[in-house]
Structure 1
Amino acid sequence: MDDLGFADDRPIEAHDQDLLGRSTFAKNLAAAIAGWKNKESLVIALTGAWGSGKSSIKNLAIQEFAANPSHEVIEYNPWEWTGQEKLSSSFFNEVSLAIKRKDKSEDGKQLAKVLRQYGRKLSAGAVLMEGFAKYLPLFLGSALVTSYLSVWAENPVAQTVMAVLSGGSALAASAAALKRLARFLSDRAEGLDQSAKENELTLSEIRGEIRTLLAKREHPLLIVMDDIDRLSPDQMKALFQLVKGNMDFPNVVFLLLFQRDIVEQGLELAGFKGAEYLEKIIQAPFSVPALSTERLEAVLFERLDAILTNEPQLAGKFDTDYWTGVYRKGLSQFFHNLRDVYRYTSTLAFHCRLLRGADVAEINAVDLFALECLRTFAPASYDAMPQHKVALTGSGLLMRQDQTEKGRITDIVQSIVALAPQDYRSGAEQIIKQLFPTLDWVFKNTTYDGSTHGRWLRESRVCRVETFDRYFELALPISEVSNSLLHSLTLLLPDSERFCDILRNQNESQQKTVLERLESYVDDFPLEQSSAVVETLLNVGEVVSGRESSITSLSPPVQAFRLLRFFLLRHDDPATRSGLLLRAFENAKGYLVLERLLSLEASSRREAKPTDLDDAGFEQLKLMFVTDLLAQANHNPEAFIAHWNFISFVHRLNYFADGAGSQWIKQQVTTLERFVLFAEAAVNKGTSYGGNGPSAFYFVRIATLDELLGIETCQGWIEKIQRAELTEPARQAIDLVEDALGRHQRGEKSDYD
């Protein structure tokens, strides 16, 4: 395995690589082979499922067997050859070459020679009979081929064929077909002639010599054939016929490796009764020893530990209790052999590196481990999950929690599970239910409060819509806020200037997301530096992009207010909270955030609800807010009127300081330019819903004009306006003010008045 965890999935070669305790079995198998000495061959089968370790056991057994220099091992790969004649010829040629290379004795050289001759004769006979089967109808009726028969009629194999043919009846043949037959016989004649020149012995005589030479050997010849289950049915048939036809050779041990059910099915397709046929050939059947769950898990966990060691960002937040539950209920059902472990961990390490993050992990390690298991073993289920993000994360705005919705979500989960292979469906279902507690209301009738959802977000769980996509895109989306940025901002909270500089460089959407995500980190804000943190959060409201919140979305300043309030509530004493705000506001004039805090406090007091501040602190804060805001307004009246939150500010001044807001407007709106700014500030935005979907509309409330400046004053300014000199937004604002004044004169009231 390399540093990324990729495994080559090749069988082990030596005992020191054995992780599963198969060495003892392999040694015993090698000893049994070495002790074989009999007048016939021994055929051993080692069977097991794909990935169960057959080839590894074979390698260990061969290493043990070949430790004795006098032991000879020949590994023959039958799937490299096709056709009966090529299989026979290649087999004996391979065995011949191996003996010639390893055994330099005279007997060894002679054995190599006769094996090669034997293979050629078998090959020639097989080709000849195959050709006659093809051309038999033509051959029997043709006088044209007589001249060719004389070329090879004296060959022993040919004589046998002619004896068979002599009993046939004559059939007619076309001239073209007879010519093809003639060419076939001519080609075969050359090969048979060469065979005759090499040795005039018959097949029976050659076999006898092979038996004699093999019987002289002190140790058995081990012939290994692996991957038999890769062969086609016809190739399987040819291979087992080859083994069966040569089982009478002494001191030869065949070691055959295959997955039994696949070979039995292949032999059935080739016309045999698979199981019965194997029983006639295999004398010593062995199965790969059963693999204990404990051994396999030890290998899996060792590789997972190695991955986490290389990824400290993931290891630092790894939830062992959560992992134990997810593994035992779901992942454990997917691992049956080492190949499963290697397939899984090879790509897991790579994906961990992709999502490790700069400072902290961008994902939850347990969730990634579990989803990688689905991606590896149930890829169709994994691929289907992004299509159902809303259902899985429970993020639909209008999602109902009723029986109809339960049925719909249950069907979605079952459809995802059904895409997994049959053996993995139970595990896939358990993984989905473990990773998405947002589905517990469907399957357990259990719901969770906001703090739990906040914890899931802080832990970057896949069940949160904010982090869901990165598990399937296997990268951090470009527009998404990274955990590393949030981590950095949390550390920078005591440094107001640097914190605000980072936020200032984000667009409005990113600012909103950052502040929203930071809510789940409030418990990590440093209490020992509370004064600096409060000062920073007050300043945040002034540097982020300002706009009013909508029904479904909070503005960045409101998000900043929420962060500050949640942090203050970590202090149990209301007086402590007030003191923190008073000291911070002296340095950080965070009018937007403080206005919302004071408004909430005032509302709670009116409604006799629990309050966040003590009475004395609340009164001091109101006074400081009013005094400083009016000073700011007087310093630059045009900028104050143009502020997007101007109307809210003056209402707050009215409430906290007996109409101070209206008084300021009447004193300062003394020019057409300032009245136009006032008109633009008074415009409200609404949304209507019709058959074509939502649409925006704009209006001015009569009460706003009356309370802040007065109806008559507004009417007077409207009469002085020169519309041609106005910008388009200004012209629209003046039109809306004039429309509101017209409604007032007519005694009409709209829904928003």
Structure 2
Amino acid sequence: MCPVSDARFFNDEPVDGSPNAPDLLGRQQYAKHASTLLHRVREQSESGVLALIGPWGSGKSSVLQMVMQQLRQAELAEPTGQARRFRWRPRRRPAAEDTPHTQWSVAELNPWMYSDVESLALALFSEIRGALPKGAHGSEVRRKLGEFAQSISPLGKLTSLIGLDSSDLIKHVGDRISGDTSASAAKHAAEAALRRADRPVLVVMDDLDRLTPEELLVVFKLVRLVGHLPNIYYMISFDEQTLLDVLQRSDLVGDSDHRAREFLEKIIQVRLDLPAFRDRDTAAMGIRSLNALLDAHGLAMTPGEERRFSEAYFRHLQDRLQTPRAIKRYFGQADATLGSLAGNVDLVDFLIVTFLRTNEPGVYRLLGRHRAELTGTSIATAVRRSTQPGERAEHWQTRLRTAGVAEGNIDGVLNLLALLFPTVQQDLGNGGDTKAAAQRRGIGSADYFDRYMVFGVPGDDLSEAAFDQALAQLNAGVPEEEAAELLLRLCEDTHRITRRIQHRRRRTIPADTGTTSSQTGQPDHPRRRGSDAEASSSTARIAGPSPQARGRHRPRRVHRPGARDISAGVGATSFPARQRTWRSDRPCGPWSSGVVEGHVNRIKMLKRRMFGRAGFHLLRKRALFAPLLARQRADQAGVSLGLCGPARCQARTPSRSLCCSRSVGHGG
């Protein structure tokens, strides 16, 4: 059973490893590594900038939350201050696995709220002052930082920071002119106060890649120039490629990827790349999310559905769902629209359609425009069949390009459409079974297509639960509202309701009531049929009585005049007798499909011989007219096709060698 937290598809807040927001990807260990690295940077430098780099949706904000939580919850392992100076043993540099002994103050700054360097600098000093601990040293540092902020900020913006009114404005102007309030002196005083406090402060800035080029340069100017103070450290996060694109749009860097990377190297001191989201992690998170989705709606997948979804997910969907946010967003969209469709559509088709709707909205709109062609109900079926499969595949690729699909994703999206629609599968040169799509209530059937488009059962349709209830009422002879609705639909849309009843009968006919092993996938074993006698009696009411139970018999074979009994003759005394005995033991009776199989094999042989050499018209002539021509030649030679006897061979000597050489039991 999945954890309950996995079903929180609509919560996009960062996780911190708590019971309410557990760490499912094992990022706590990496957050601990980042915290330890932060202590090592402090030992070697008075200030520094660390960058957490990863693509959008990969979990950068979650790692930042875990790092801040570990720093805030860290307790001192030994007394600090003067007591540490009189230790007789030397200080040992902490190893990577040791627990840090320094307490940190954490300040969060959202640069989105400020557009110029003065406002952002005031906000930075305000956050640092708020993060400092209470006490004598903290009060002094806060006062010095406030003076430094006053020296670098205009008076209009300074009033918003320290709360000056218009009556005090003239007084502060005179104080700044007459006193020693230069920016350099104020900065030196703030640096001295921060060194005496000996309390490191971590300033966290998230999502810098979403800023404009001007705002991004303001942040970097603040971090490396104005905010470069002792015991002040910065941890920023961004998507590297997006940030480089933003920098290339600025006048400072220009359209040069190399210059943009060099500019980043001057700003960032330590680079922290987020751990890769492996295929194994993608599969594990996808399975957890799928199980949570099924549990939330009380559904379960059959083995056949599991195979179909595994083929679609691991061959096509997994390459597009490469971040935790993408997986969560995908299954969240499925959870949002599955409610009224549960039990009324094929679950695998629904998940594939949800992926197209979420990641390829142009393709999803394309489905509605080509509904008739996709479901095989188009009036242009003859024109479609006259074209080659390769031409139809290229036509679909052109449609996908027009719908906005990237060039590298066209083949994958086209294969997803082939999994949904048998007509597209036929256009790609493969066989497609339209009856199988209708049997599973797939989108490839015209009877169920609209359900996937309206996210529910339309008003002119009956849900599966109402349909089953109506059939049960009619079977019991107690018609109610559902049965009356079914009869009304049967009058209005006879073919559709009839098809649904036939599909329902196919799903309910068991293997021991005449279904062969090719339909059920199980061998025709006598012990299995005997052990399932109780199950066959319970399902006979659904599938209907057998012909023998209704008092009917199979039609007898009519003896044709002039036809020879296959049981007579020397060559027919052994093999046909054994064949007839073997057939009598089969559940299907004494009939055989050998003739049909022979014709099928003959046509396949012709098609393979003519592949790439001739067209469809020649194949049609050879498949349909070749047996007639052969019969005419045989009649002209005096040999009737089918059976021949010794007397006929003696009477017609021109064909004696041909006939007798192909007859069993005849002399040469």
**Structure 1 and Structure 2 fold alike (TM over 0.5):** yes
SS of residue matched to 1:326: helix
Letter aligned with residue 60 of structure 1 = M
- Residue of structure 2 equivalent to 1:295: 281
Is 2:313 the partner of 1:323?
no
| Residue from 387, 403, 419 that aligns with 2:369 | 387
| Residue from 318, 324, 335 that aligns with 2:321 | 335
In 1, Cα distance between equivalents of 2:195 and 2:465: 74
In 2, Cα distance between equivalents of 1:432 and 1:272: 47
Is 2:16 the partner of 1:13?
yes
- Residue of structure 2 equivalent to 1:116: 146
CA contact (8 A) 2:46 2:231 kept: yes
- Superposition deviation, residue 350 in structure 1: 2.2
Letter aligned with residue 429 of structure 1 = L
- Residue of structure 1 equivalent to 2:443: 462
Deviations 1:202-242 (A, max 9, x none): 22222212222222344421111112122211111111011
Change (3 A) 1:221 1:525: closer
Letter aligned with residue 142 of structure 2 = A
- Residue of structure 2 equivalent to 1:733: none
Letter aligned with residue 95 of structure 1 = I
| Residue from 249, 266, 290 that aligns with 1:269 | 249
Is 2:111 the partner of 1:105?
no
Letter aligned with residue 58 of structure 1 = L
User: Structure 2 length as normaliser, TM-score?
Assistant: 0.65
SS of residue matched to 1:465: coil
CA contact (8 A) 2:209 2:239 kept: yes
- Residue of structure 1 equivalent to 2:395: 411
Letter aligned with residue 208 of structure 1 = H
- Superposition deviation, residue 344 in structure 1: 1.0
| Residue from 482, 497, 500 that aligns with 1:514 | 497
CA contact (8 A) 1:84 1:238 kept: yes
CA contact (8 A) 1:355 1:362 kept: yes
| Residue from 197, 203, 222 that aligns with 2:183 | 203
In 1, Cα distance between equivalents of 2:509 and 2:461: 25
Change (3 A) 1:399 1:56: same
- Superposition deviation, residue 109 in structure 1: 0.7
| Residue from 210, 215, 233 that aligns with 1:253 | 233
Letter aligned with residue 339 of structure 1 = R
- Superposition deviation, residue 262 in structure 1: 2.4
Is 2:5 the partner of 1:23?
no
In 2, Cα distance between equivalents of 1:420 and 1:474: 24
Change (3 A) 1:458 1:118: same
In 2, Cα distance between equivalents of 1:74 and 1:345: 34
Larger Rg: 1
CA contact (8 A) 1:40 1:248 kept: no
In 1, Cα distance between equivalents of 2:559 and 2:169: 111
In 1, Cα distance between equivalents of 2:293 and 2:318: 18
Change (3 A) 1:96 1:9: same
- Superposition deviation, residue 12 in structure 1: 0.7
- Superposition deviation, residue 382 in structure 1: 0.9
- Superposition deviation, residue 346 in structure 1: 1.2
CA contact (8 A) 1:37 1:220 kept: no
- Superposition deviation, residue 58 in structure 1: 0.6
- Residue of structure 2 equivalent to 1:369: 351
Is 2:414 the partner of 1:429?
yes
Is 2:222 the partner of 1:238?
no
Letter aligned with residue 58 of structure 2 = S
Is 2:64 the partner of 1:64?
no
In 2, Cα distance between equivalents of 1:83 and 1:188: 22
Identity over aligned pairs, percent: 23
- Superposition deviation, residue 191 in structure 1: 5.9
- Residue of structure 2 equivalent to 1:76: 109
CA contact (8 A) 2:426 2:432 kept: yes
In 2, Cα distance between equivalents of 1:9 and 1:493: 49
- Residue of structure 2 equivalent to 1:87: 120
In 2, Cα distance between equivalents of 1:343 and 1:528: 42
| Count of paired positions | 482
- Superposition deviation, residue 343 in structure 1: 0.9
Superposition pairs for residues 530-569 of structure 1, below 5 Å?
none
- Superposition deviation, residue 265 in structure 1: 2.7
Q: Of Structure 1 and Structure 2, which has the larger fraction of its residues in helix?
A: 1
CA contact (8 A) 1:454 1:519 kept: no
Letter aligned with residue 108 of structure 1 = G
SS of residue matched to 2:134: coil
In 2, Cα distance between equivalents of 1:337 and 1:33: 26
| Residue from 35, 38, 41 that aligns with 1:33 | 38
In 2, Cα distance between equivalents of 1:98 and 1:524: 67
- Residue of structure 2 equivalent to 1:619: none
- Superposition deviation, residue 462 in structure 1: 0.9
In 1, Cα distance between equivalents of 2:559 and 2:149: 105
CA contact (8 A) 1:329 1:431 kept: no
CA contact (8 A) 1:76 1:91 kept: yes
In 2, Cα distance between equivalents of 1:57 and 1:74: 16
Deviations 1:442-479 (A, max 9, x none): 2124254xxxx333212101111111111111111111
CA contact (8 A) 2:201 2:233 kept: yes
- Residue of structure 1 equivalent to 2:654: none
Letter aligned with residue 279 of structure 1 = E
SS of residue matched to 2:322: coil
- Superposition deviation, residue 387 in structure 1: 0.6
CA contact (8 A) 1:318 1:366 kept: no
Change (3 A) 1:62 1:395: same
In 1, Cα distance between equivalents of 2:465 and 2:43: 70
SS of residue matched to 1:43: strand
Change (3 A) 1:127 1:220: closer
Structure 2 portions without partners, runs of 5+: 76-102, 159-167, 254-259, 514-539, 562-668
| Residue from 477, 480, 491 that aligns with 2:458 | 477
- Superposition deviation, residue 521 in structure 1: 1.8
In 2, Cα distance between equivalents of 1:580 and 1:312: 46
CA contact (8 A) 2:17 2:28 kept: no
- Superposition deviation, residue 281 in structure 1: 1.6
Change (3 A) 1:397 1:286: same
CA contact (8 A) 1:5 1:307 kept: no
- Superposition deviation, residue 313 in structure 1: 4.9
- Superposition deviation, residue 5 in structure 1: 5.2
SS of residue matched to 2:188: helix
In 2, Cα distance between equivalents of 1:210 and 1:607: 116
- Residue of structure 1 equivalent to 2:664: none
CA contact (8 A) 1:392 1:438 kept: yes
SS of residue matched to 2:381: coil
Change (3 A) 1:292 1:223: same
In 2, Cα distance between equivalents of 1:507 and 1:443: 36
In 2, Cα distance between equivalents of 1:425 and 1:437: 18
- Superposition deviation, residue 577 in structure 1: 5.0
Structure 1 portions without partners, runs of 5+: 129-186, 531-563, 582-600, 609-753
